[in-house]
């Protein structure tokens, strides 16, 4: 190899001449001009210098501090975490923040680049020139490699710092500053990617230099991922821990709530009086939990004090207000006092009342019992319910305008005196007048219209029906027509009719019938009636007398006019508007039409389609007819109408009333039905002789009504006068009816309707009357001696009732046949029909319910044996002491006398 000048060598290496000259100078070579020749030795010297120079950094470069680039990146992810089963999953936001710091050393890069370029040039020069040049080139490559390694280390350090800084943001550990990083102290710029990814070559080297500070190294990325994975793991662990904590808390809360609920759960039907205001309300209403915001506090805790609802035994006895209806079932009463029925029964036994759990006890007993048990009885009237339900009807009734109404008339009189004929004549001529087919039906009442007004006739002639209606509480009749046959005169039932009408305080009009007959003698009849205190107007009395003929129709018009006049005198008025009410006259079950009831409207206007309550039946009026079977839509006061639509047939005398709706009708009907079932109570309370004095003591001005039945007229007169004579300032004894003969149903009804006491003097009640007397608890007294009757009524009035010697009838035997025996006289072959016959007890012989003999038994035999007692259903032979006039059909009454202490 030949020596080259500086200029030539600089060109070979590719370094500017002046820079090359500096390098030569630094290498300590003498050549300092372009034309100077450089020997081989000098070349080696230069190479050594360059190699030496590569081993240490430039002093200027050391001062230049590293420049940093920090990249921050954050990613947000969401984790869905299910905490408690059944609740919504919880969403946790996870934010990962990454910070990567790159340290840029541009001087290093530049230096490296310059060194590299020098080395390259030198290398090239050396490679082209000589072995020294090739060595030089090798040295340059080594230098480059050193630089690359240094750069890599530096980048790694920078990444570590960045990761540390990044982590510090999560962990709170102070970040290591970039200055502290070891890589910073490591000089040498680093071509990163190119160097590591490609094999080092001459061609690659410049490219590597160019790529010095740019993209992050793949090794650093993997580390970052590793860190991130770790962080994620930590985070997930933290989330998991948090989730578990929340779950535990939820479970604990649920348990607490459940526990509280268990404690709180009240018994069915028990009203818990919560001391937690407002909360009980929500609980009772069963408010949906969905709508209720969840509260942190336990459900039943206020002010940190859990509320307590457990049973606490009362320290003082609980006093109940016990409402008691007219009768009450034992179990019901027990329930009202919150005690067991057995307790009630026990207490009732102490009071002397034997009762079972399902038995009804009366109001008085219940009141005593309730008081004894320390509670407060509140006796209730059965009518309270009705009054409450019918309040509207009643209030309306008070304010309605009253208008004149037609009189309602009942015809009474003795048998065959012409009651039916009279009614028929009026109906035929007046009611059915103009009817093509005549009378198509026969209803319980009908109305007659005249120019002066209308009259309503009740088609149930006779005082028995009249009084029976009264006994049921139905005061319907305004005027009574007493029919007396002018050819016959006053008869027993004429008297009865007059008495019944008077007892009802109803004015009388006398119709002297059969006036067409030759035998008719109205004057005689008038005289007879005058003796009964029924005095004609023309004789100065107050009773209208009319001569009529039901056969010829004579005097009928005058009779009707007289009725209208009487109605005017009575000023009969009723409200014509508003809710209708009245009385059921009769009812029947029709095959095709169902229950058909004839009702008499007393107040208001009844319209088709209205709901009515009648007795304990109810219904909507489907159809309504008048007495001519014409369908009508409405009817006013005193009009008799037939109605269809009731649930069943009501009883005659039942009150009917229009109600607002079916519900009220049904409830009231059910209530009345219940009452009917539970009480044996009559519509009216029967009067009691025992009550007389106590009623007087209550300050009542008392009228003691008597119905007297005697065996003979003489006894009746004597008894009547004696008893009525007992009247004083405080009590008026009034005989509302006196008659001869046994006590019949009519007498019992009259006594009931008039709150009278029944007195039987040597007479007995017949079977029907006995049943009624027993059912309605009518006070019946039998006497055989006048002064006994007088004495007892006297004592009752004065309140000095002596212990009563009560006669109890123990048996009744009917005489079937009579045998004559020379030894014993008349022996009555009898059948015991009630109770028993006892030999030693006193007896009475009755004929047609009238006592004909009172005495003792002589003999009592069954077949041929003497016996002491014969029971019901057995035959026996009875011999009555000192009495032989026993006849078949007579009755032998066996009785005993017992002393009963009076209680006022
Ligand atoms: N001559 C005549 N006979 C009459 C008159 N009124 C009724 N009669 C007759 O008297 C008899 C009895 O008449 P009723 O109408 O049945 O008498 P009642 O009072 O209804 O009889 P009871 O229903 O049994 O209570 C009948 O034969 C009638 O024809 C009348 O004014 N003149």
419 alpha carbon – ligand 1 mean position (Å) = 7
Q: What's the pLDDT at 698?
A: 54
Probe target for ligand 1 pocket from 411, 412, 414, 418, with the most ligand atoms within 8 Å of CB: 418
pLDDT tens-place string over residues 597-645: 889 998 889 998 888 888 888 889 999 988 878 889 989 899 999 999 8
Mean pLDDT, rounded, for 81-106 = 68
d(CA 683, CA 671): 15
Q: Taking the alpha carbons of 126, 127, 128, 132 in that order, is the dihedral positive or negative?
A: positive
pLDDT tens-place string over residues 676-709: 655 543 334 445 665 555 555 555 557 788 899 9
d(CA 541, CA 547): 17
Q: In 3D, which of 646, 599, 655 has the Cα closest to residue 627? A: 599
Q: Is 604 close to ligand 1, i.e. is its CB under 6 Å away?
A: no
The token duo for 421 is: 């004929």
Confidence of residue 359 (pLDDT cuts 50, 70, 90): confident
For residues 538 and 902, the model is more confident at: 538
Q: Taking the alpha carbons of 595, 597, 601, 605 in that order, is the dihedral positive or negative?
A: positive
Probe target for ligand 1 pocket from 420, 421, 458, with the most ligand atoms within 8 Å of CB: 421
Q: Would you say residue 173 has pLDDT above 50?
A: no
d(CA 342, CA 792): 43
Q: Taking the alpha carbons of 743, 748, 749, 750 in that order, is the dihedral positive or negative?
A: positive
Q: What's the pLDDT at 231?
A: 67
Kindly write down the DSSP assignment for every residue of 60-120, as one continuous string. Answer: HHHHSPPEEEEEEEEEEEEEEE--STTSPPEEEEEEEEEEEEEEE-HHHHHHHHHHHHHHH
Q: Is 517 close to ligand 1, i.e. is its CB under 6 Å away?
A: yes
Atom of ligand 1 nearest to the CA of 513: 31
Residues in the chain: 904
d(CA 497, CA 463): 5
pLDDT tens-place string over residues 760-805: 988 989 888 988 888 888 888 888 888 888 888 887 777 655 456 6
Q: What's the pLDDT at 57?
A: 45
Q: Is 582 close to ligand 1, i.e. is its CB under 6 Å away?
A: no
d(CA 805, CA 331): 39
Centroid of chain to Cα 832: 57
Please state, rounded to an integer, the average pLDDT across all residues of the chain: 73
Q: What's the pLDDT at 201?
A: 40
544 alpha carbon – ligand 1 mean position (Å) = 21
How is residue 735 annotated by DSSP? E
**Beta partners for 625?**
631, 642
* 3-state SS string for 246-266: HHHHHHHHHHHHHHHHHHHCC
Q: Is 427 close to ligand 1, i.e. is its CB under 6 Å away?
A: no
Centroid of chain to Cα 827: 72
* 3-state SS string for 185-234: HCCCCCCCHHHHHCCCCCCHHHHHHHCCCCCCCHHHHHHHHHHHHHHHHH
What ipTM did this prediction achieve?
Answer: 0.97
Q: What's the pLDDT at 259?
A: 56
Residue 415 known to bind ligand = yes
- Strands, DSSP E only, in 801-849? 804-821, 825-838, 843-847
558 alpha carbon – ligand 1 mean position (Å) = 19
Residue 873 known to bind ligand = no
Q: Is 631 close to ligand 1, i.e. is its CB under 6 Å away?
A: no
Q: Would you say residue 314 has pLDDT above 70?
A: no
The token duo for 683 is: 């519509």
CA triple 377-382-643, angle to 5 deg: 170
Q: Taking the alpha carbons of 488, 490, 491, 494 in that order, is the dihedral positive or negative?
A: positive
Phi, psi angles (nearest 5°) of residue 707 = -115, 115
Mean pLDDT, rounded, for 807-816 = 88
Neighbours of 360 (CB within 10 A): 17
Show Cβ contacts of residue 497 under 8 Å, excluding neighbours closer than 6 positions.
Answer: 412, 413, 414, 462, 463, 480, 482
- Lowest mean pLDDT across 165-179, 294-308, 499-513, 780-794: 165-179
Q: Is 666 close to ligand 1, i.e. is its CB under 6 Å away?
A: no
For residues 316 and 510, the model is more confident at: 510
Phi, psi angles (nearest 5°) of residue 380 = -125, 140
Residue 632 known to bind ligand = no
Number of H helices, E strands in the chain: 27, 39
What percent of the chain lies above the pLDDT cut of 70?
Answer: 66
Q: Quick one: CA torsion of 839, 840, 842, 843, rounded to 10 degrees?
A: 0
Q: Is 494 close to ligand 1, i.e. is its CB under 6 Å away?
A: no
The token duo for 56 is: 């240490």
Ligand 1, atom 2, lies closest to the CA of: 514
Query: How far are the Cα atoms of 487, 488, 491, 514, 549 from residue 518, in angstroms, in the given order?
Result: 8, 12, 19, 9, 12
Neighbours of 608 (CB within 10 A): 18
- Helix or strand (DSSP H, E) at 865: strand 865-866
Model-level pTM? 0.50
562 alpha carbon – ligand 1 mean position (Å) = 22
798 alpha carbon – ligand 1 mean position (Å) = 49
Query: How far are the Cα atoms of 50, 133, 382, 388, 675 from residue 681, in angstroms, in the given order?
Result: 144, 149, 11, 21, 9
Q: In 3D, which of 708, 684, 780, 689 has the Cα closest to residue 468? A: 684
Phi, psi angles (nearest 5°) of residue 281 = -60, -50
Neighbours of 581 (CB within 10 A): 24
- Looking at mean pLDDT, say which of 105-109, 280-284, 382-386, 852-856 comes out highest: 852-856
pLDDT tens-place string over residues 134-148: 544 454 445 445 444
């Amino acid at each position: 190899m030949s020596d080259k000048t500086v200029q030539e060598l600089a060109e070979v290496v590719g370094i500017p001449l002046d820079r090359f000259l500096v390098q030569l100078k630094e290498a300590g070579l003498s050549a300092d001009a372009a034309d100077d020749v450089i020997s081989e030795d000098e070349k080696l010297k230069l190479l050594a210098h360059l190699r030496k120079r590569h081993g240490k950094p430039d002093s200027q470069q050391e001062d230049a501090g590293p420049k940093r680039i920090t990249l921050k990146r954050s990613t947000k992810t969401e984790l869905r975490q299910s905490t408690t089963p059944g609740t919504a999953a919880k969403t946790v936001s996870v934010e990962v923040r990454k910070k990567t710091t790159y340290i840029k050393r541009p001087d290093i890069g530049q230096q490296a680049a310059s060194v590299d370029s020098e080395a390259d040039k030198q290398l090239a020069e050396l490679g082209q020139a000589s072995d020294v040049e090739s060595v030089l080139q090798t040295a340059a490559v080594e230098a480059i490699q050193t630089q690359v390694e240094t750069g890599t280390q530096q980048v790694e350090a920078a990444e570590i710092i960045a990761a540390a800084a990044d982590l510090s943001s999560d962990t709170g550990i102070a970040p290591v500053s970039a200055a502290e990083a070891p890589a910073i102290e490591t000089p040498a710029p680093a071509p990163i990617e190119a160097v590591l990814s490609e094999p080092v070559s001459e061609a690659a080297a410049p490219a590597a230099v160019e790529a010095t500070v740019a993209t992050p190294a793949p090794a650093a990325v993997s580390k970052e991922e590793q860190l991130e994975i770790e962080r994620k793991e930590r985070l997930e662990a933290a989330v998991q821990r948090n989730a578990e904590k929340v779950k535990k808390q939820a479970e604990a809360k649920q348990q607490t709530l459940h526990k509280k609920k268990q404690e709180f759960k009240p018994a069915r039907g028990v009203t818990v009086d919560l001391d937690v205001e407002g909360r009980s309300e929500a609980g009772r209403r069963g408010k949906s939990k969905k709508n209720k915001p969840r509260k942190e506090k336990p459900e039943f805790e206020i002010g940190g004090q859990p509320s307590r609802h457990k049973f606490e035994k009362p320290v003082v006895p609980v006093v109940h207000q016990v409402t008691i209806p007219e009768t009450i079932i034992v179990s019901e009463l027990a329930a009202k006092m919150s005690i067991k029925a057995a307790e009630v029964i026990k207490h009732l036994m102490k009071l002397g009342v034997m009762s079972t759990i399902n038995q009804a006890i009366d109001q008085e007993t219940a009141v005593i019992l309730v008081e004894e048990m320390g509670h407060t009885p509140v006796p209730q009237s059965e009518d309270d319910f009705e009054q409450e339900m019918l309040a509207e009807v009643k209030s309306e009734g008070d304010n309605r305008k009253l208008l004149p109404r037609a009189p309602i008339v009942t015809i009474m009189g003795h048998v065959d005196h012409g009651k039916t004929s009279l009614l028929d004549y009026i109906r035929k001529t007046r009611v059915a007048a103009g009817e093509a087919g005549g009378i198509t039906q026969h209803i319980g009442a009908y109305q007659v219209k005249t120019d002066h007004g209308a009259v309503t006739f009740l088609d149930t002639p006779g005082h028995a029906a009249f009084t029976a209606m009264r006994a049921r509480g139905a005061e319907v009749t305004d005027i009574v027509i007493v029919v007396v046959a002018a050819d016959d005169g006053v008869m027993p039932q004429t008297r009865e009719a007059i008495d019944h009408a008077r007892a009802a305080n109803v004015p009388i009009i006398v119709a002297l019938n059969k006036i067409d007959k030759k035998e008719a003698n109205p004057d005689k009849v008038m005289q007879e009636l005058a003796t009964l205190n029924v005095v004609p107007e023309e004789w100065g009395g107050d009773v209208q007398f009319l001569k009529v003929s039901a056969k010829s129709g004579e005097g009928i018009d005058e009779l009707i006019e007289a009725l209208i006049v009487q109605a005017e005198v009575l000023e009969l008025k009723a409200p014509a508007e508003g809710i209708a009410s009245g009385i059921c006259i009769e009812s029947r079950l029709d095959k095709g039409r169902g229950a058909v009831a004839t009702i008499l409207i007393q107040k208001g206007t009844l319209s088709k389609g209205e709901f009515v309550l009648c007795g304990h039946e109810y219904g909507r009026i489907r159809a309504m007819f008048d007495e001519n079977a014409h369908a009508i839509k409405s009817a006013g006061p005193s009009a008799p109408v037939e109605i269809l639509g009731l649930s069943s047939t009501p009883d005659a005398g039942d009150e009917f009333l229009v109600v607002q709706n079916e519900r009220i009708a049904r409830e009231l009907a059910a209530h009345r039905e219940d009452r009917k079932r539970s009480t044996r109570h009559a519509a009216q309370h029967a009067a009691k002789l025992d009550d007389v004095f106590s009623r007087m003591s209550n300050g009542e001005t008392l009228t003691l009504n008597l119905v007297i039945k005697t065996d003979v007229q003489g006894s009746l007169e004597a008894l009547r006068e004696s008893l009525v004579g007992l009247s004083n300032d405080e009590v008026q004894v009034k005989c509302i009816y006196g008659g001869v003969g046994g006590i019949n149903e009519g007498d019992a009804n009259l006594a009931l309707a008039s709150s009278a006491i029944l007195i039987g003097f040597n007479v007995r009640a017949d079977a029907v009357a006995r049943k009624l007397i027993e059912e309605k608890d009518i006070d019946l007294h039998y006497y055989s001696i006048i002064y006994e009757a007088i004495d007892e009524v006297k004592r009752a009035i004065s309140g000095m009732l002596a212990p009563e010697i009560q006669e109890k009838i123990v048996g009744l035997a009917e005489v079937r046949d009579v045998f004559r025996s020379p030894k014993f006289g008349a022996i009555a072959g009898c059948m015991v029909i009630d109770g028993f016959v006892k030999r030693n007890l006193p007896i009475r012989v009755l004929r047609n319910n009238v006592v004909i003999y009172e005495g003792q038994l002589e003999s009592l035999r069954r077949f041929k044996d003497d016996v002491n007692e014969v029971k019901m259903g057995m035959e026996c032979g009875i011999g009555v002491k000192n009495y032989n006039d026993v006849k078949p059909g007579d009755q032998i009454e066996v009785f005993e006398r017992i002393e009963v202490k009076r209680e006022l």
